[in-house]
Amino acid sequence: MTALTILLVLVLLLVVFGLLFRLQIFTSIFSGTFTRDIGMSNSVNAILMLVFLIGGGGWFAYSFVENFSKMNPPIASVHGHQMERMFWITMAVLGVAFAITQTLLFVYSYKYQHREGRRAYFFAHNNKIEVIWTIIPAIVMAALIFAGWKAWTRITGPAPKNSVVVEVMGKQFNWLVRYPGRDMKLGVINYRMIDAVNEWGFDLSDKSALDDFTTNEIHVPKGVPVLIKIRSRDVLHAVYMPHFRVQMYAVPGMPTRFWFTPTTTTDEMRAKLGNPKFNYELACNQVCGGSHFAMKATVIVDEPDDYQNWYAAQQSFSQKNPDVLAAFKLKAKTMVTPVASSTEEKEAAPTPLAASY
**Residue 173 to residue 296: CA distance in whole angstroms:** 8
DSSP state of 52: I
One-letter identity of residue 333: K
CB of 10 to another protein, least distance (A): 5
CB of 175 to another protein, least distance (A): 13
Q: Say whether 137 sits in a helix, a strand or coil.
A: helix
Nearest Cα neighbor of 106 from 56, 62, 63 is: 56
CB nearer to another protein: pick between 109 and 215: 109
CB nearer to another protein: pick between 67 and 308: 67
DSSP state of 126: -
The pair phi, psi for residue 196, each rounded to 5°, is: -60, -35
- Residue partners of 253: CB distance under 8 A and separation at least 6: none
Query: β-strand 296-302 against 218-221: which pairing, if any?
Result: parallel
CB nearer to another protein: pick between 250 and 314: 250
DSSP state of 72: -
CB nearer to another protein: pick between 186 and 246: 246
CB nearer to another protein: pick between 21 and 34: 21
CB of 271 to another protein, least distance (A): 16
CB nearer to another protein: pick between 71 and 313: 71
CB of 309 to another protein, least distance (A): 26
**Residue 293 to residue 194: CA distance in whole angstroms:** 25
CB of 163 to another protein, least distance (A): 17
**Residue 206 to residue 190: CA distance in whole angstroms:** 11
DSSP state of 171: E
Please answer whether residues 232 and 169 qualify as being in contact, where contact means their C-beta atoms are separated by less than 8 angstroms.
yes
CB nearer to another protein: pick between 101 and 319: 101
CB of 13 to another protein, least distance (A): 7
CB of 177 to another protein, least distance (A): 17
